[in-house]
Structure 1
Amino acid sequence: MSVRTTRQSEPELTFSSKELFDLAVAWIVLSVAFALLLAPIHRVAGVTIGDFVTMVGLSFVTVGVAFLLHELAHKVVAIEYGQLAEFRADYQMLFLAIMSALIGFLFAAPGAVYHRGRITKRENAMIALAGPLTNHLLAVLFLPLMLFGGYLGVIGHMGVLINLFLAAFNMIPFGPLDGKTVLTWNKAVFSAVFVVSAVVLVGFILTFGFW
């Protein structure tokens, strides 16, 4: 991959075979990790193989979609700013996600969109904000499903909760998380997005429960 040093006049959204493979692996591993956490067939008596498989499916359409569109939002905005951008999975962190889920908690940092090219602090912050804001939008889209019973209701609840959690978590100003990039650019914008994300997440949990 070459390094772009000038803006691209007509950005194009393309995916390499390596990027598609990494996205697919991260999507599947995250879904399995969340299923191991929420339907721990290996730790809790009474949890059946059917329960676990069902949870994998539910995680695939909630956790997986939340992760995938979060990362694609970073990529799309980066390309709009003339960047070379590709997602790369972090296989060590994916392994850690599975191992942590097996013992009853989950730490998931499946990878990131890496981008190159000339860019301002504001543009870099916009790329970072695209992920959490996309999760907020997805939470709104999942919300109506909570009005239904059965699996649709479960998908709605999981979809809202996971997306609100990802938005708030990624706005933490630490390490490679999006919040640090936004804070570096503008403290007021960071504070507004972080506080709203945290308050909405806590409010949802207090109103509808964690699970």
Structure 2
Amino acid sequence: MSERMYGPEPMHIPADYGKIRFSKEELRHILFSVVVLTIAFTLAFSGIIYGDRHIIGLSTAEYFLYYLAVSCVAVFSGFLLHELAHKFVAQKNGAWAEFRSYPMGLAIALFFSVMGFLFAAPGAVYIQGMISKKQNGHISIAGPLTNLVFGSIFIALSMAIVDNILLSYGCYLVGSINLLLAVFNLLPVPPLDGYKVLKWNLPVYIVVMAAAVAMAAGIYLGWWW
């Protein structure tokens, strides 16, 4: 998710216009969010309270390490790359853009994870600068598109891997998380990305949202697993 922190400033083109850069503060926020989200995903995936370890025939330690590995990939592709896509596109368009975590949102993620649910608002990329409606649309759609692409790739991998059930199922979980995040972030409700994409270009919004919904629907209809 991306948010505008301030209104447009007077036009000023810095010497490092379009360069990708991180501040130390931003890196701390990213690391904190990734660690907390990975813990939350691991707890939710493994079903720390209601889990059925016998289903995949692993010991307790193997079971936990398996879901820890899956969670790392899910957080990296579903959360981190989503936010970095917003950041990189914004900075390529000359805007200031940095990620900031939501401590309360991360606390909520941990709370729900121990009950086997995933619900999180880990933070957002804040943007400041002179950007047009079209540029803002590009920045906003970059995150959900990243989720849609990685979701499709991991679902395809899960279907292609037929001789390793653990690897196939791990890819399915990562793909499912990415696809569900794509649909959620494309909802036309402020401050979600879908609201800004819809304001920018209705046909683009319809096409991307339809693709995300179709892929995500396959999760519930059993097409992908």
Do both proteins adopt the same fold according to a TM-score greater than 0.5, normalized to the shorter chain?
yes
The residue aligned with 1:20 is 27
Counting only pairs closer than 5 Å after superposition, residues 55-134 of structure 1 correspond to structure 2 as 55-134=67-146
Larger mean CA deviation between 109-118 and 188-197 belongs to 188-197
* 1:29 and 2:36 aligned: yes
> Size of the alignment, in residue pairs?
208
CA shift for structure 1 position 134: 1.1
Could you tell me which amino acid in structure 2 is paired with residue 101 of structure 1? S
CA shift for structure 1 position 204: 4.2
Within 2, Cα distance between the matches of 1:25 and 1:150? 32
CA shift for structure 1 position 86: 0.4
Could you tell me which amino acid in structure 1 is paired with residue 199 of structure 2? T
Query: What are the superposed Cα offsets for residues 26-61 of structure 1, whole Å, 9 maximum, x if unpaired?
Result: 112112212222212234475835423321221111
* 1:196 and 2:217 aligned: no
CA shift for structure 1 position 111: 0.5
Question: Cα distance 1:115–1:40, how it changes in 2: closer, same or farther (>3 A)?
Answer: same
Larger mean CA deviation between 146-155 and 116-125 belongs to 146-155
For CA contacts below 8 A with separation 6 or more, give which structure has more relative contact order: 2
CA contact (8 A) 2:99 2:123 kept: yes
CA shift for structure 1 position 138: 1.5
CA contact (8 A) 2:109 2:120 kept: yes
Q: Secondary structure at the match of 2:167?
A: helix
CA RMSD, 1 decimal = 2.3
Q: Secondary structure at the match of 1:112?
A: strand
Gaps of at least 5 residues in structure 1 are none
CA contact (8 A) 1:8 1:83 kept: no
Question: Cα distance 1:140–1:45, how it changes in 2: closer, same or farther (>3 A)?
Answer: closer
Could you tell me which amino acid in structure 2 is paired with residue 6 of structure 1? H
CA contact (8 A) 2:53 2:63 kept: no
CA shift for structure 1 position 5: 4.1
Query: What are the superposed Cα offsets for residues 75-94 of structure 1, whole Å, 9 maximum, x if unpaired?
Result: 01001111000011111100
CA shift for structure 1 position 13: 0.8
